[in-house]
Amino acid sequence: MSGNVRVTIWNEYRHELKDEAVRNIYPQGIHAVLAEALGTEFAVRTATLDEPEHGLTEEVLNETDVLVWWGHMAHKEVQDEIVERVYQRVLAGMGLIVLHSGHFSKIFKKLMGTSCDLKWREAGDKERLWVVSPGHPIVQGIGEYIELEQEEMYGEHFDIPEPDELVLVSWFEGGEVFRSGCCFKRGLGRIFYFRPGHETHPTYYNEGVRRIIANSVRWAAPTGDSKPKYGRYVPSLEPIKDKGSV
């Protein structure tokens, strides 16, 4: 699409206000660091849970090409009406990037149709994210892998549908593996789930992680395709011969 891709970064913004350790890493919130990471290439705005309508009004979503979602401790507080609003926008072509514990968000579970459950451990494991789809635009410029010295472990089985494309697989020093970069299409919308980003680690300052998020925003941006027509369609494309009564 032409022009700057319009990005809304949504963050529940609770850990940063309640936990000093998290606040020390992300003093202005995870959303602020993600906005800074995307730089000036994109037209970026932010929204948080405690804003009216969670900051995701009809107007905001209609002006959003790609929505980036980070949530963890307050999934249940997201209003179902707003989830449905986001869901319909994705089907209509808005891209969605779901980060880390957003796997349990209402919107991701609604789009996946599964529990999205997994194994996890908070032990500061080393994580190595291996590129398993070289040449995919989301991993452009990454090389063979990204290494994070400390992260929360997520392990298989990850209860999601089979991804349309799998671009990254994580290995953790405890021995677990995880499908950590998963692409899906729903309606006209593109969805990317990206695993790393636990709030007690400075993951979103890592250059490789930031590059993948920026790449995924470009990938998920709407293509401009129009929504197909559904339901009863009266005009025929070709003349229909009178076949008489049956």
Among 151, 195, 199, CA closest to 26? 199
Instruction: Quick: pLDDT tens for 112-155.
Output: 999 999 999 999 999 999 999 999 999 999 999 999 999 999 99
Range 150-169 average pLDDT: 98
Cα distance between residue 80 and residue 89, in whole Å: 14
pLDDT reported for residue 3 = 58
Predicted TM-score of the model (pTM): 0.93
Range 227-234 average pLDDT: 78
For the chain, how long is the longest CA-to-CA vector? 79
Within 13 Å, how many C-alpha atoms sit on residue 118's CB side?
23
